[in-house]
Structure 1
Amino acid sequence: MSCSASENITALARDAVLYTLPLFEMARVRAAMCPRRDDSGQFAGDSPDSTLGWVNQLVRGRQLLGPQNREVVTPNNDTLYLSTWLDVGDEPLVLEVPDTAARYYVLGLLDFYTNPFESIGTRTTGNGARRFLLYYGDVAPPADDDLTPIACPTRDVWLIGRLLVDGMDDLAAARALQDRFVLKTLSGHPAARRFDVGMARRAALGDPRLYAAVVNAALVRNPPPAAESAVVAQYAAVGIGANIDVSVLEAPKLAALGSALDQVIGELGAPQPSALGGGWFLPVEVGASFGDDYLTRAHVSRNYIGALGVEEAMYVTADCDSEGRPLDGRYTYELSFPPDGIPQAQAFWSITMYDKTSCMLVDNVIDRYSIGDRSPQLRYDEHGLSLRLSAAPPVDASTRSNWLPAPDGLFYIMLRIYIPSAAHLEQRFHYPPIRRVQPQEGGVRTDQNSMAS
């Protein structure tokens, strides 16, 4: 192979991975999250290693997520999740939503390329009881004024819902409301059915043959938009395409895919520039579709899968301080919102701590994973709201109510703003700089033994 041909294959493999990474990540998360049992307790498969699960079955998360929940990266700690993996290819599905009164909720619908093509909830459809018809392809929705039709761009869809919880005392009421969401077929029967997720539940990104197999199967079920079919057709040269048999892929193609996977994973994990100043950036700024911005789509699928459209939620993130240094829990950081500079959200706002390596919530002995407008312990003063971020608790006990524990290493934080104001959407809001406190504060480590002493 000539040098020029090798360079072309290398570039093409990278483009193929960037385009198709959302398909792999959606398949990976579906494999991890698809329930093994239906509501009656029946297993989909006949062994613990079976790749069969149940689709079209609502899964109700009964607890606010913590470090032990590792299925989805960068999860929130503010809402109960309500989710299901949908197959709308055989027949339309009916989703019944109850009256949620004053409680904020949203049901985000993502196609298999991670485009947040539609949302149901407080902001878009209101809090009253509604019925929605989810369909795919050239299905003619029935003439029924009681059903709101929603066309799905792909056969496979992820419905990921969030119901706001106002503290632990509110959990029982939120759980009762979860039970009133119903999914059924158009004919009125239970919608749940067996489905082969096609990969192990703990499969990791990296094996090029597995990657090609998963992506190619997804392309069969979820073809790209017609306008992008010619782009995707080029990827056959590196083993990516519907109906390509990966068992006979030549070594050069596998090597090119493997190198591209390593390269892209590295690129997508690199610190982001502080476009908003002070260490902050906005990793997800999408409406109903990423369009042809495949790089951003891949970045979001790898690091923030399940993100909603920007008008529903903004995910303002920081992994560096105001001087551009990576955030590290071995140091102490201060974050101060002035009285007129508190985040402006019609639903709620919160700041959540994540381990940089795993993209998961950070275990700590005070079980505090986020802090926000519903945190009862927060202390405001005439200067506004000042927060401390560190692995060690503040020396000054009076500031510990506003302390968000960090890991003993690299971390990032995310400021979630649900139903953000125009000041946020138009990027007129000033995000306070994340300042490293000098000298580094001392303090007791957050391990169990030292805290107990």
Structure 2
Amino acid sequence: MNDESILHGAPIDATIRGAVIQTLPLFEMMRMRAVTTARRHAVLGFASDDRASPLRWVNQFTHTHRRLGPNDREVVSPNNDTVFSNAWLDLSEGPVLVDSPDMGERYWTLGLLDAWTNPFAYVGRRTTGNHRQRTLVHGPGWCGTLPDDVTHVIAAPGADVWIIGRILVDSDEADIARVRVLQNQLRISRLDGCDAAMHIDTRLDGQPVEVPSATLYQALVDEALSRNPPPAGERPDWPVAPEALAALLPRVFDELRRHAQPHELGGGWAIPVTVRTSWGQDYLTRARVARNFIGALGVEEAMYPTAEIDADGKPLDGTHAYELRFPPGAGPKVGAFWSLTLYRRSDCLLVANALGRYSIGDRTPGLSHDADGSLAIRIQAADPGPGVNWLPAPPGELFYVVLRLYQPHADHLEYRYAYPPLRRL
């Protein structure tokens, strides 16, 4: 037993705690499946006539056709660069085909997460290109015949897979319309060409569950374990006695919420998620990310350095003005694009402002560089005037910023890049 197995002064059985830490990603993934799958299929109708039913459709895409803004409160720290296409695969009845259209030159990715939150595979610009593709995804043990037109094959480690799709979009209505057409061409089918959609019982009503009951936790984990074997070398000591589980769950959930361990990058910057394709045996970090940043893709696809403090170590506060200055030739090194997004600390959401700007980056129209080639971004509540690269901050409120790096170069991946601090003016 170590220091982390003692909360609020009372010792916790290390074996039971370890079992919860190991299985918590399964529960969180099943919870997200309930929240992000649809009750209604465009052709097949509702999964159930009862609006309170936990039945949901899987093996179909659902889409967000616009960039998220301050009125969107379902997801914390949302990106303001892409639209989302979301799908949950159920491979228990056989493989599925995922069709994706020609994406032209734009950035896009379909990231596949297994039930243990490992981002184990991708389809998209970085990995498979931007041409029209047909990807076969199958579960363990499948050895059927591949259709002739399959371009890629992905072997999933279990029956449940979460596909999180991101497609880059400009803010103008014409590009939003073009991307909507692309999203609507994403399709999931069976090998015989039929729609793969099927409904499942999520056991949840889609409402937030801060700390689950021991009965609910046990049921969801049991079901997920039966469909998604633990990664190689991992054997959770499961199940746990109901009484012990009921006593432990609130304390472990609280611990994971309060104790984040981001990777320090210098200059007040830290990165909360550093996974590539698997968490390996780092069960504690895997559980923390599942609790606080679920859905994170691997750092080779995107990195999210985050700053909550300025150059002097003080919290970023909308009462003051700040400058983030990238020296000449020392901007973020990426294969796709980068952006800087601001969020209010109190709720981790985007902040409404008169400019209607929630992020700024290398694709921002009118971005200006200084005469020496440096790039300065002003972060403050009041309009700094013309010719300034301005990211509006909330007046008098604490905030934080996230530097999103899409397809980061080795300087970032190997932690050699010098992140400039935010300096209070």
- CA shift at 1:17, angstroms? 3.5
Q: Which amino acid aligns with 1:313?
A: A
Three-state SS of the structure 2 residue aligned to 1:134 is strand
CA deviation string 1:19-78 (max 9, x = no partner) = 233222222222211111112371112233221111111112111112333333322111
Residue 160 of structure 2 is matched in structure 1 by 156
Write the distance in 2 (CA, Å) between the matches of 1:404 and 1:299. 31
Distance between the aligned counterparts of 1:52 and 1:400, measured in 2? 51
How far apart in 2 are the matches of 1:355 and 1:23? 30
What is the CA–CA distance in structure 2 between the aligned matches of 1:17 and 1:162, rounded to whole Å? 31
Q: Which protein is richer in helix relative to its size?
A: 1
Paired residue secondary structure (1:419): strand
Task: Output aligned runs, 1:278-357, within 5 Å.
Answer: 278-357=267-346
Deviations 1:350-405, CA, capped at 9 Å, x for gaps? 11122334333233343222111111143322252222234x224x3236642233
Q: Tell me if 1:11 matches 2:14.
A: yes
Question: Which stretch of structure 1 is more off in the superposition, 305-314 or 18-27?
Answer: 18-27
| SS of equivalent to 1:415 | strand
Give the whole-Å Cα distance in 2 for the aligned partners of 1:377 and 1:215: 50
The answer as to whether partners of 2:28 and 2:290 remain within 8 angstroms in 1 is: yes
Listed as ranges, the matches of 1:296-445 within 5 Å are 296-383=285-372, 384-390=374-380, 392-394=381-383, 396-398=384-386, 401-406=389-394, 408-437=396-425
Q: Which has the higher strand share?
A: 2
Question: Is the counterpart of residue 219 in structure 1 residue 222 in structure 2?
Answer: no
Cα–Cα, structure 1 residues 389 and 418, in superposed 2: closer, same or farther, change >3 Å?
same
Contact 1:369 1:405 in 2 (8 A): no
User: Could you tell me how far 1:349 is from its partner in structure 2?
Assistant: 0.6
The Cα offsets for residues 328-351 of structure 1, whole Å up to 9 and x where unpaired, read as 333332211122111122211111
Q: Give aligned pairs, total.
A: 415
- The answer on whether the counterparts of 1:303 and 1:359 sit within 8 Å (CA) in structure 2 is no
- From the superposition, tell whether residues 263 and 89 of structure 1 become closer, same or farther in structure 2 (CA, over 3 Å): same
Please give the secondary structure, in 2, of the residue aligned with 1:402: strand
> 1:256 corresponds to which residue?
248
Quickly say closer, same or farther: Cα 1:38–1:143, change in 2 above 3 A. Answer: closer
The answer as to whether partners of 2:60 and 2:187 remain within 8 angstroms in 1 is: no
* TM superposition shift of 1:204: 2.3
Verify the 8 A CA contact 2:393 2:399 in the aligned structure 1. Answer: no
CA distance in 1, matches of 2:348, 2:224: 25
Superposition TM-score, scaled by structure 2 size: 0.90
Contact 1:389 1:406 in 2 (8 A): no
* 5+ long unaligned stretches in structure 1: 240-248, 438-453
Q: Which consecutive residues of structure 2, in runs of 5 or more, have no partner in the other structure?
A: none
Offset, 1:131: 1.1
What is the match of residue 84 of structure 1? 87
Deviation of 1:412 after TM superposition, in Å, equals 2.2
Instruction: Give 1:86 shift.
Output: 0.9
Query: RMSD value over aligned CA atoms?
Result: 2.4
Question: Taking structure 1 as reference, are residues 406 and 378 closer, same or farther at Cα in structure 2, changes over 3 Å only?
Answer: farther
Q: Is the 8 A contact 1:277 1:322 kept in 2?
A: no
Change (3 A) 1:350 1:146: same
- CA offset at residue 323 of structure 1? 2.6
Q: Tell me by how many angstroms 1:432 deviates.
A: 0.6
Q: Which runs of 4+ in 1 moved over 4 A?
A: 4-8
Q: Alpha carbons of 1:109 and 1:364: their partners in 2 closer, same or farther (altered >3 Å)?
A: same
8 Å CA contact 1:205, 1:211 repeated in 2: no
Please state how far the C-alpha of 1:119 moved relative to its aligned partner: 0.4
Which residue of 204, 210, 221 corresponds with 1:205? 210
Q: Structure 1: which amino acid aligns with 2:193?
A: G
Identity of aligned residues (%): 46
